Amino acid sequence: MKIAHKLIALFIFSPMLIIQVCAGQDNNTFTNPILEDGADPYVLLHEDGYYYFMATRGNRLDLWRSSELTQLETVTPKTIWSPPEKGPNSCCIWAPEIHHIEGKWYVYYTASDTVDEGDHSRGVFVLENENKNPIDGQWIDKGRVNTQYSGIDGSVFQFADRLYFLYSPYVNDHSDIAIATMKNPWTLNEDESILVVPKYEWEKTDDRSILEGPMFLEGPKDEVFIVYSGGACWDDNYSLGMLAAKKEADFLQADSWTRFEKPVFKMSKENKVYGPGHHGFTTSKDRRANWLIFHAKSKPEVGCSKRSSRLQRFNWDKDGRPNFGIPWSLDRVIQKP
């Protein structure tokens, strides 16, 4: 009887607690999305123990700093940069990424010119911050990356003491995946090369054939990977594709990379996940668990709107290649990183 009385009192005075328990959630679990308005998410787990997160805002660059990646909705981001009224980076601020390179912070973002907006004027731009905490300090505009083509979705990675740049160039009527080495964090060497162009039907739409959002991932064995988005954000079939290369290979050579014919992560009608893509990778703080962050939509045929940031764990298969599985339902209760 005493137990019954306690349960009745708990229900009367703490109805939200009852709802939470019934849903199977506690302080060690979460449900997606981690950010409702979260297109093109990117996250970096830094050595200071904080997750630094960015997503497309269109008219500014916002930066989140959180000890828990699953608590982004409770964190107030800081606007670290707003575009000028005119100029080559004055509008359409997309797909920002934050990186820590040789003791300094860099943000790479896509922008266009407000008086000449369009794919022909899009480029990747860089900001630099010397402060230990990127939330503070001054962000210096380092200008536009000297890519061969107009393009979007710049990303960098370091491997074997070399700094590389990836992006999605606009070439004729399609978008590709290109790579180059870097002289410094804002300047490319003259060795840019295109690795792949749209080839498979799932990489094509009626409007344009698109490969974009390339992201580097190092495997636990003898391979590295470039995971990219194929299709378009307005298409429910937007999916992730993958390239693999040996760690000792020349990454600038297209024939160093093996291309996977089918998507490695795609729409799940059963789980009501549409257009999963434009992703990033991170780990738990102990570096033992690997996590995929991506955006997706909960309803079909809504174009590029209503993209939310989601997080789910992935594993490695016996060959040391990533196994992303299928997109999880928003009803799934997940153990926190």
Q: Residue 212 catalytic?
A: yes
Tally the C-alpha atoms within 13 A of residue 110's C-alpha that lie toward its C-beta.
Answer: 27
Q: Residue 223 catalytic?
A: no
SS3 7: helix
Token pair for residue 146?
A: 């000297």
Of 232, 212, 231, the closest CA to residue 122 belongs to 212
Choose, from 40, 113, 153, 236, the residue flagged as catalytic.
40
In one letter, which amino acid is 232? A
Cα dist. 148→135, 168, 192, 208 in Å?
32, 11, 7, 20
Token pair 């050579």 in the structure block, residue: 253
Choose, from 212, 223, 235, 236, the residue flagged as catalytic.
212
Residue 286, phi-psi category: left (phi > 0), alpha (psi -120 to 50), beta (remainder): alpha
Active centre residues (catalytic) = 40, 212
